[in-house]
Structure 1
Amino acid sequence: MATLRKRNGKWQVQVRRQGFPVQTRSFVSKADANEWARTIERQHDRHELGPDRKALKAMTLTDLVTRYRDEVVPKKKGSAVETILLNRFLRYPICQKTLYDLTTADFATYRDQRLSEPKHRSDKPVNPKSLKRELSPLSHMFRHAVVEWEIPLRNPLDGLKLRVVDNKRERRLRAGELERLLEATKKGRNKLVAPLVLFALETAMRRGEILSIQFRHVDFERLSLVIPESKSGYSRIIPLTKRAVSILEAVRPAGAKATNLAFPVTPVAMRLQWDRLTERAGIDGLNFHDLRHEAISRLFELGLTVPEVASISGHRTIAQLMRYSHASQEAVRAKLIDNDGEPGGHAFVIDTARGQHTVELID
């Protein structure tokens, strides 16, 4: 913000901006003073002026992360998981750096350290894709600090190289795994885990969407469910199978209010429950999100069209939807074998160096 005052026959102008040193200059003409002030303010807006060293040296990365965690994260849908990620990040030495001294090289060191560390309860190191998800809230934090808090800093993550391999998951339930999962739920204390698993397979909904269901969102007569806000930020209405409705009726306690959660389980608790469940069932490499892959693939196998499946799953593009559709190899193989046994229609002969081959075209 610029302020002008006349002093000793000259116009003195000051431009103040949080995080930047005060700019002061005197002019004989008021018009010149105003023009200079506008030029400095435009340079501030375009981040062409260097930040105030004192302001950035007085604030550490810990201060910035803590403020972001306490003020911004609680308003986000994934606040519980993001808080855990940020709390873990605060334990690393990089957080002791001041914002003035913080560089991309510091995050490169942190990246290499994280990629060499083993995961929780696993001998495998953290993969680049997981680390990219962990760095995502930090990148948003730096952008938020510049725009909302007017802290003049550069996002050190912009130049960080992180080679991520697109290891698209194609995991589906194998023969007998669902039965083993349901049998293992009997040994757990939380009786909502089994209904959660079955409901996920019936609806292809995300875990967060399922855990946010309130009974007022369910139309038991029309067999439909309103999802007020999905991961993509859009609402949608999905049809429910009779089995899905029966699951909701089974978990609805007597006298339940419309605003009661159908599955009163926190995301963190569900993640821990799932880890214990798969361990008891002796199943490796199966995530809860893989149930969404399984459900979407089953919808296609039932004969639903791409638009119909997309209306249920909530995907906005065909490319996104196809990442979740994995045809059963056994079903494809069975169809190919059936076609091999059918009588042919037209036939033609192909001449090759190895002789003549007759090929039949199936009508």
Structure 2
Amino acid sequence: MRFIAVLFFRLSYVLRRQKLAFAGNLPERNNPDQANSTFRMGIWMAYISQRGAYWRAEVRKRGHKPIYRTFDTKQQARDWAQRVEAEISLNIFVDRSEAERTTLGEALDRYAREIVPTKRYPSQELTRIARWKKNDLAWRPLAALRGVDFAKYRDARRAAGRAENTIRLELQVISHLFEIARKEWGFETLMNPLKNIRKPTGSRARDRRLLPGEFDALRTRLAASNNPWAAPAFELAVETSLRQGTLFNVRWEWVKIQDRMIEFPPEARGADNKGVPARLPLTRRAADVLRALAALWQRDRFIDPELCQLGPVNVDPDKLSGPVFGTSCNAVQLVWKRIVKSENGFPNLRWHDLRHEAASRLFEKGLHPLEVASVTGHRSMQMLKRYTHLNPADLLTKLG
């Protein structure tokens, strides 16, 4: 009987302690570092302890890994534990700890490893990621980022004079990262904060064309540079309307000078919004420029070097292979920018404006919009219109 009485007393004491702990009425220990409280409901167990100036709450349930979090006060820890247990009992709990521990910088590193290599232009994505990693937001946890944080970033980039499309592409990287994290990385509860802000509307449409005399002046100054490939690249950009990247990737295997065609293989045609036609027709001047480029590769066959500037006919491009240009895109860009931005340069002129010039010249030759689109590679008439800037003075003869 004495054994039963002692057992009953101890059981009553334990039950009383657990009841007080659940109600939050346990007296605090003299040593705050050892302060803790425990409450149990059925198969639930929540344990709250003080670690220095903070309180750590841990919830355990059979079939779930232990869930823990640190708070500033004991009441916050208790409220969190009760909310987690309620969500688990309703089968709606999703672990947020991973999103709370993972910073934006760490997520960007994973995005660069797993997602960027699958994109068409990974180098551009890596450049944007490198910029984001230098931002203060890269140190913040994913779960702590809000739309207002990215709205401030957007406004700061605008104040710095960045183009609207540049800002849009930078924000698009983060938006896609959040979607990937939510769908494939197990962060189901992570909301995409980019959906709550106004996106940049896009870059302002440019209408810069070559002014009278600028074409000849540019060609002369480019030809006088130390890079013999710069002037032919400039002329081909105007004659073919090719984008800069595509132009410098053209290979001799694709060039059919006798047919005045460039036949692009499927892997070189680009994405839908930046594509080129499968067969690009060439103007006679473009064919002459390609012959001049062939002459640069076959200098030993010429007696008179001046023939290189006139589009010699006694070259055989069919015997050439590899890139058409014996220089890099960056090398030509350095020459271009040095001339354009010089004291007697060409204000507000960019290389991509040559594509606008090419599209406008095709219309001025009388081509139908569908014919122009078959040369420039535009998929929609709206975008083709954006690239076309006709001279109103040339319309006077048609108006009568």
Does TM, normalized by the shorter one, top 0.5? yes
Q: 1:156 aligns with which of 193, 202, 208?
A: 193
Q: 1:318 aligns with which of 381, 385, 389?
A: 381
Taking the TM superposition and a 5 Å limit, the aligned residue runs for 1:77-156 are 77-117=120-160, 125-152=161-188, 153-156=190-193
Are 1:331 and 2:399 matched, yes or no? no
Partner of 2:283: 241
Q: Deviations over 1:183-234 (max 9, x none)?
A: 3324544332211111011111111221221222222221111233134265
Q: In structure 2, do the counterparts of structure 1 residues 81 and 267 end up closer, same or farther at CA, with 3 Å as the change threshold?
A: farther
Bigger fraction of residues in helix: 2
Q: Is the alpha carbon distance of 1:193 and 1:146 closer, same or farther for their aligned partners in structure 2, counting shifts above 3 Å?
A: farther
CA positional deviation for 1:93: 0.5
CA distance in 2, matches of 1:184, 1:51: 65
The CA deviation string for residues 62-89 of structure 1, in whole angstroms up to 9 with x for no partner, is 1222233344334534333333232222
- Return the alpha-carbon distance in structure 1 between the equivalents of residues 336 and 292 of structure 2: 21
Gaps of 5+ in 1: 1-20, 26-47, 118-124, 340-363
Name the CA distance, whole Å, in 2 between partners of 1:188 and 1:216.
28
Question: Deviation of residue 134 (structure 1)?
Answer: 3.0
Whether 2:257 is the aligned partner of 1:215: answer no
Q: Mark the CA change 1:283 to 1:220 in structure 2 (over 3 Å): closer, same or farther.
A: same
Structure label with greater radius of gyration:
2
Name which of structure 1's ranges 190-199 and 272-281 shifts more when overlaid on structure 2.
272-281
Distance in 2 between residues matched to 1:138 and 1:266, nearest whole Å: 31
Query: 2:279 aligns to what SS in structure 1?
Result: strand
1:269 to partner: Cα distance: 5.0
Q: What's the counterpart of residue 301 of structure 1?
A: 364
Counterpart of 2:15 in structure 1 is none
Q: Which moved more, 1:59-68 or 1:149-158?
A: 149-158
Provide the alpha-carbon RMSD of the alignment: 3.1
2:241–2:375: 8 Å Cα contact kept in structure 1?
yes
TM-score by length of 2: 0.63
Question: Equivalent residue for 1:262?
Answer: 324
Counterpart in 1 of 2:221? 184
Identity level (%): 32
CA-CA distance at 1:267 after TM superposition: 5.1
Give yes or no for contact 1:301–1:327 (8 Å, CA) kept in 2. yes
Q: Is contact 2:340–2:347 with CA below 8 Å preserved after alignment?
A: yes
Does the 8 Å CA contact 2:163/2:203 hold for their aligned counterparts?
Answer: no
- In the alignment, which residue of structure 1 is the partner of 2:303? none
Distance 1:297 1:24, change over 3 A: same
CA offsets per residue over residues 311-360 of structure 1, 9 Å max, x none? Answer: 11111221221111111123124544xx2xxxxxxxxxxxxxxxxxxxxx
Matched letter for residue 232 of structure 1? D
Say yes or no: does 1:251 pair with 2:293: yes
Structure 1 CA distance for aligned equivalents of residues 292 and 94 of structure 2: 60
Distance 1:156 1:90, change over 3 A: same
Relative to structure 1, is the Cα distance of residues 148 and 272 closer, same or farther in structure 2, using a 3 angstrom cutoff?
Answer: farther
The 1:97/1:313 distance shift into structure 2, 3 A limit, reads same
Q: How many residues align?
A: 288
TM norm structure 1: 0.69
Q: 1:205 aligns with which of 242, 265, 269?
A: 242
* Other-structure match for 2:336: 274
SS in 1 for 2:272: coil
Local SS of the residue matching 1:304: coil
Take 1:269 and 1:148, find their aligned partners in 2: how far apart are those partners? 41
1:226–1:110: structure 2 CA closer, same or farther, 3 Å change rule?
A: same
CA contact (8 A) 2:103 2:138 kept: yes
- Which blocks of at least 5 consecutive residues in structure 2 are unaligned? 1-59, 65-90, 299-316
- Are the counterparts in 1 of residues 208 and 353 from structure 2 also a CA contact under 8 Å? yes
CA distance in 1, matches of 2:370, 2:149: 46
Task: Give the CA deviation at 1:247.
Answer: 2.1
Deviation at 1:163, TM superposition (A): 4.8
Note if 1:286 corresponds to 2:346.
no
